[in-house]
Amino acid sequence: MIVSKKTLWAGRILSAVVALLILFAAVPKLLGVAAVVDGFRQAGYPASAVPIVGMVELACAALYLLPRTRFLGAILMTGLLGGATATNVRLGDPTWVVPALLGVVAWAGLFFRDARLRALIPLRG
């Protein structure tokens, strides 16, 4: 199955947006920004988890962007974003929808970029 140029570029753009957002989330964690550390504490996580989550985010984004590991990256990113969604739901934070939608967009990006995924999940009208 061949991917059209428009479909391929739509997938690339969606994937780039997801990867950039994950990378932008990782940097303040790796830098130990006080507001991020305080947010983790308020959510019930220890400050020591902040850089670890930042490294996991970096790893997920890198795996997601590399062609050979993009599916592994998407699976791991889904777990990461699921944890973020669950934490926000538990805290009653209405922004829980952001990581949930980001996970959907991550898979949509792969769906548009890769004919093999579309063969596994055929959408027919």
Q: Helices in 66-113 by DSSP H: which ranges? A: 70-91, 97-113
Q: Is residue 121 part of a domain?
A: no
Q: Tokens for 7?
A: 């479909």
What's the pLDDT at 87? 96
Q: How many domains does the chain have?
A: 1
Q: Is residue 36 part of a domain?
A: yes
Q: Is residue 87 part of a domain?
A: yes
Q: Is residue 125 part of a domain?
A: no
What's the pLDDT at 36? 97
Q: Is residue 58 part of a domain?
A: yes
| Rounded Cα distance, 16 and 120, in Å | 23
Task: Tell me the CA distances in angstroms from 107 to 23, 72, 79, 89, 91, one per residue in order.
Answer: 17, 11, 12, 22, 26
**Which residue shows structure tokens 């957002």?**
21
Exposed, middle or buried: residue 46 (CB in 10 Å: 0-12, 13-18, 19+)? exposed
What is the block-wise mean pLDDT of the chain (125 residues), using blocks of 10 residues? 85 97 98 97 96 97 95 97 96 96 97 90 74
What's the pLDDT at 6? 93
Q: Is residue 98 part of a domain?
A: yes
Q: Which domain holds residue 61?
A: 5-116
What's the pLDDT at 27? 98
Q: Is residue 43 part of a domain?
A: yes
pTM for the full model? 0.89
What's the pLDDT at 2? 72
